[in-house]
């Protein structure tokens, strides 16, 4: 990281950024070509391991790319605010972000899909409810598990 003075090193503070955001950008690659897609998500941080869950269609570009290359990254950001100055080059932007790298897999087992969808619902709604899903609903959606093995946080504050 170039600006070490902006780095978020505290795990609790990085998780707080992830918790404040509702949309992540999922980064995938195929044939040396990047692909980024915004998605709603849910996450767990247990035993020092960050896991991000997303869902999508059973078929399509995302599914095809994941089938060819499981390396993936995600990015979330919040706290956006323009920092104004007298000169154009003095302007800046306050923000906080987390970027993580890992491997993404398709969840096929219905009990794991249900669990992951509940993690997503909890994060998106803020409710600790447990939802049930019919077999038809579970069969109609692809659910992905992104296990993060390297992640950083960055924050620029207004001074």
Question: How far is 108 from 113, CA to CA, in rounded Å?
Answer: 7
Distance, CA of 147 to CA of 103 (rounded, Å) = 6
Statement: residue 24 has pLDDT above 80: yes
Quote the domain boundaries for residue 72: 4-156
- In this structure, what DSSP letter does residue 1 have? -
Q: How confident is the model over 21-50, as a mean pLDDT?
A: 96
Report whether pLDDT(48) > 90. yes
Average pLDDT over residues 38-46: 97
Number of domains in the chain: 1
Per-residue pLDDT of 115-131, as tens digits, reads: 999 999 999 999 999 99
d(CA 100, CA 23) in angstroms, rounded, equals 14
Looking at the predicted structure, is the pLDDT value of residue 4 above 90?
no
Whether the Cβ atoms of residue 74 and residue 25 lie closer than 8 Å to each other: yes
How much is the average pLDDT of 87-102? 90
Q: Is the pTM of this model over 0.95?
A: no
Task: Please state the φ and ψ torsions of residue 63, each to the nearest 5 degrees.
Answer: -65, -45
- Position 12 pLDDT exceeds 70: yes
Q: Which CATH number covers residue 87?
A: 2.30.110.10
């Amino acid at each position: 990281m170039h600006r070490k003075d902006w780095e978020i090193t505290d795990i609790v503070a990085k998780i707080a950024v992830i918790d404040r955001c509702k949309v992540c950008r999922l980064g995938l690659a195929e044939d040396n070509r990047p692909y980024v897609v915004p998605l709603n998500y849910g996450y767990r941080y247990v035993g020092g391991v960050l896991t991000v869950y997303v869902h999508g269609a059973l078929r399509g570009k995302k599914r095809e790319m994941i089938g060819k290359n499981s390396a993936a990254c995600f990015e979330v950001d919040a706290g956006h605010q323009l920092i104004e100055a007298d000169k154009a080059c003095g302007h800046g932007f306050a923000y906080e972000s987390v970027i993580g790298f890992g491997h993404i897999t398709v969840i096929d087992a219905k009990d794991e899909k249900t669990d992951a969808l509940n993690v997503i619902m909890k994060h998106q709604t803020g409710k600790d409810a447990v939802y049930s899903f019919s077999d038809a609903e579970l069969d109609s959606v692809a659910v992905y598990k992104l296990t993060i093995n390297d992640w950083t946080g960055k924050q620029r504050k207004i001074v």
